[in-house]
A and B are shown apart, each in its own frame.
Chain A
Amino acid sequence: MKRRFFLNFCFIGIAVIGIAVIGRAEVPSGDWILKQVDENIGSDNKIAVTQMIIHGRRGSRAIKSKSWIQGIDKSFTEYLAPPREQGTKMLKLGDQLWMYTPSTDRTIKISGHMLRQSVMGSDLSYEDMMEDPQLHKIYDAEVIAEETYLDRPCWILELTSSEIEVAYYTRKVWVDRERFVILREERYARGGKLLKTTEVKETVRIQNRWVPKKIVFKDVLKSGKGTEFLMESIEFNANIPSYIFSKAALRK
């Protein structure tokens, strides 16, 4: 009797552990998911044409730009519209940023705390735009829930900064379980207050990757509709001549 009870106990125990292990195996680790996200969007070379629609109190304005991006360190952006911003160029090399404005015919270096200023009145700072997209390198991720968002099954990941010098201490991201694209993001202050949200409204498949096509950035502490970001076209692993990432290219 005792032996039977012992065997039953062992069987139930093994079954419970087995179910737990199998169940656990179904949800990959947060770090693995984050790495997949970075791999999906990351590319050595990218050329993208985007439009930023800034909704202000006095109306909305759209800024169209073309960017050449190499890895995470080099990027070159030229503003195409509106006429007032046309010809303005930005060059990012590492953690340094230069800006050229045709009206003054001058190149200025945007460094230090100037990087924290808003880009052309939008809800994004230069720092946000220049941000290292490889989140898995600066955050520890943990899957905290699963949810359907925009009719897509998602993992909700809580990211906690693993480095000391990070703008947002914690983030919460909704990652598409099949496409490994972030559909929603919440950025929090160190004290836990929600600061900014990012919502992907539309995704497209380009060159075997899922790419956000329409994103809405919002500074939640501020009233207003936020800033819309539209990806008009993107080319991965594009051929970019090296002179693009030089200060001389700013004046061309």
Chain B
Amino acid sequence: MIIPKLALRNLLGAGLRTWLNVVVLSFSFVAIIWTQGLYKGMGDQAVHSMIDVEYGGGQYWHEKYDPYDPLSIQDAHGIVPAPLKKMIDNGQATPVLITQGVIYPSGRFQSVLLKGIDPSQTIISLPSGFLDFEGEELPALIGSRMAKSTGLKVGDTVTLRWRDAFGTFDAMDILIVQVMSTTVQSVDEGQLWIPLKKMQELTRMEDETTLIIVSKDAVNPPADVRGWEFKSLDVLLKNIRELVEVKTAGASIMYVILLLLAMLGIFDTQVLSIFRRRKEIGTLMAMGLTRARIIGLFTLEGAMHSVLAAIVAAVYGIPLLIYFAKEGWAMPQAIDSYGFAIGEKLFPTYSAGLVIGTTLLVLLVTTIVSFLPTRKIAKLKPTDALRGKLS
């Protein structure tokens, strides 16, 4: 017990030098937790939004459907198979029919993805209820980004042209019944939502669909449906998760630099203290302390920087991090173009694992950095040390 007490006394006795190291190290603590929390929050927010608005509990894709190949979308449709029809009838899934179309806002030509959805569906949080429209015109729902790029607003009519299942052109005027505000770009940009039944009729794809969104609460959706592939959330969210990982790795550069600065300070402090405290080391050796215990004392002194840094970081970091977690961080508009389904504010997510992991990481690195200069003590002769020599 004498070693820890001695180490703490020595550390506090060093005064300003110790506190400078501690403050810099505490910055690293807060920066690591804040940045990691920010990216975790970004990932969580995006994942939750996409599950709520687009993916549900997974999707069944027609075997020819490839969202990255717009030219093959025209062929990606088929009759809903019996097991999935049962799920739809039980309210555990909803079909979405997709085809390509062209709209002519203000005489301009703009390609769109035409999506048909059941207005009464509750599987995803898309305001499809607006499509339950009593009127002669074909109602259409668009997102705010689409509204901005086309200049369309609620009440506007625009000509839509598409090809039916047999490649024959058809066109009609549609009425924009609602402009939805969503964080999920992939249901907004370049897309036009219309009632499913009407779309099936217009495209001569009766009872056909491109994909089927399964409810989040669906239990054991059938795994093997001929002609259809089940895409689990792991598959659907793979890209967004990888994107978050890449962003997190990129952001780690900042706190690695901070950590390096702090470690450099601690390393220098250790080298200096061993040099200045040669006689003290000699005296301790003369008093019977083994070299290992002296090394332990100096290593502990260094490692205690991280303990003090954790305490200091907690003092100002906890209120700061709680504030951000509650109030969120306002995002610039440009974030919308990054492909993340994030709203106007980003709410960081801090987990116990993140805090404990960061503390252990800093403690480990500090201990290693503190230990390295103390290896000289192992080669030191007590007589030389007492005379102030350092061989």
Chain A interface (Cβ within 8 Å of chain B)?
112-114, 116, 161, 164-169, 187, 189-191, 193, 195, 219, 221-224
B108 and A222: CB pair below 8 A?
yes
B166 and A164: CB pair below 8 A?
yes
A191 and B71: CB pair below 8 A?
no
Residue B74, interface by CB 8 Å: yes
**Distance (Å) between the CB of A163 and the closest chain B CB?**
9
**Which of A113, A165, A168, A221 has a CB less than 8 Å from the CB of B71?**
A113
B168 and A168: CB pair below 8 A?
yes
**Distance (Å) between the CB of B170 and the closest chain A CB?**
4
Interface centre among A113, A166, A223 (most CB of B within 10 A): A113
In the assembly, what is the distance between CA of A224 and CA of B170, in Å?
A: 21
A222 and B104: CB pair below 8 A?
yes
B72 and A221: CB pair below 8 A?
no
B167 and A165: CB pair below 8 A?
yes
Interface centre among A166, A168, A169, A189 (most CB of B within 10 A): A189
A219 and B72: CB pair below 8 A?
no
**Distance (Å) between the CB of B281 and the closest chain A CB?**
73
In the assembly, what is the distance between CA of A189 and CA of B202, in Å?
A: 11
Number of A-B contacts (CB under 8 A): 66
16 A–B contacts, CB within 8 A, in A order = A112-B71, A113-B72, A113-B100, A164-B168, A167-B167, A169-B170, A189-B161, A189-B171, A189-B172, A190-B164, A193-B171, A195-B171, A221-B104, A221-B159, A222-B107, A224-B107
A114 with B159, Cβ < 8 A, contacts A193-B171, A195-B171, A221-B171 known: no
Residue B169, interface by CB 8 Å: yes
Chain B interface (Cβ within 8 Å of chain A)?
71-75, 100, 104, 106-109, 159, 161, 163-164, 166-172
A219 with B109, Cβ < 8 A, contacts A167-B169, A190-B169 known: yes
**Distance (Å) between the CB of B359 and the closest chain A CB?**
56
**Which of A113, A165, A224 has a CB less than 8 Å from the CB of B74?**
A113
Chain B interface secondary structure, helix, strand, loop or mixed?
mixed
In the assembly, what is the distance between CA of A33 and CA of B159, in Å?
A: 34
In the assembly, what is the distance between CA of A189 and CA of B75, in Å?
A: 20
B166 and A223: CB pair below 8 A?
no
In the assembly, what is the distance between CA of A113 and CA of B162, in Å?
A: 12
Q: What residues of B have a CB within 8 angstroms of the CB of A195 in the complex?
A: 161, 169, 171
B166 and A193: CB pair below 8 A?
no
Residue of B nearest to A163 (CB): B166
B169 and A112: CB pair below 8 A?
no
In the assembly, what is the distance between CA of A219 and CA of B107, in Å?
A: 10
Q: What residues of B have a CB within 8 angstroms of the CB of A161 in the complex?
A: 168
Known: A165-B166, A167-B163, A189-B172. 11 other contacts (CB 8 A): A113-B71, A165-B167, A166-B168, A169-B168, A189-B170, A191-B171, A193-B172, A195-B169, A195-B171, A221-B161, A222-B104
Residue of B nearest to A164 (CB): B166
**Distance (Å) between the CB of B196 and the closest chain A CB?**
19
In the assembly, what is the distance between CA of A164 and CA of B166, in Å?
A: 7
Q: What residues of B have a CB within 8 angstroms of the CB of A114 in the complex?
A: 71
**Distance (Å) between the CB of B213 and the closest chain A CB?**
24
Top 6 A-B residue pairs of the complex, sorted by shortest distance between their CB atoms: A223-B107, A189-B171, A193-B171, A190-B170, A113-B71, A221-B104
In the assembly, what is the distance between CA of A166 and CA of B168, in Å?
A: 5
In the assembly, what is the distance between CA of A37 and CA of B172, in Å?
A: 31
